[in-house]
Amino acid sequence: KNPLQPQILRIGHRSSLSSSNFDARNPTVIFLHGYAEKSDGRSASTILT
């Protein structure tokens, strides 16, 4: 519930996940965009629709 403030989740550090706003009960999509594309680019928009 924090769209403006990023949170760093570190592999192997469970405390970073448990202290974050992540809620495993919510549907989760992990999206990796290319170097030349922004997070609001065409492929990201396609996922949202």
Q: Which pLDDT score is estimated for 30?
A: 76
How do residues 1-49 score in pLDDT, each as one tens digit?
677 888 888 889 989 988 888 888 988 877 766 666 666 767 766 766 5
Full-model pTM = 0.46
Q: Which pLDDT score is estimated for 35?
A: 67
Looking at the chain, how many residues does it have? 49
Nearest to 7 by CA among 23, 15, 48, 17: 17
Q: Which pLDDT score is estimated for 45?
A: 67
DSSP calls for 1-49: --SSS-----TT-HHHHHTSS--TTS--------TTS-TTSHHHHHHH-
Domain boundaries, the chain: 1-49
Q: Which pLDDT score is estimated for 24?
A: 86
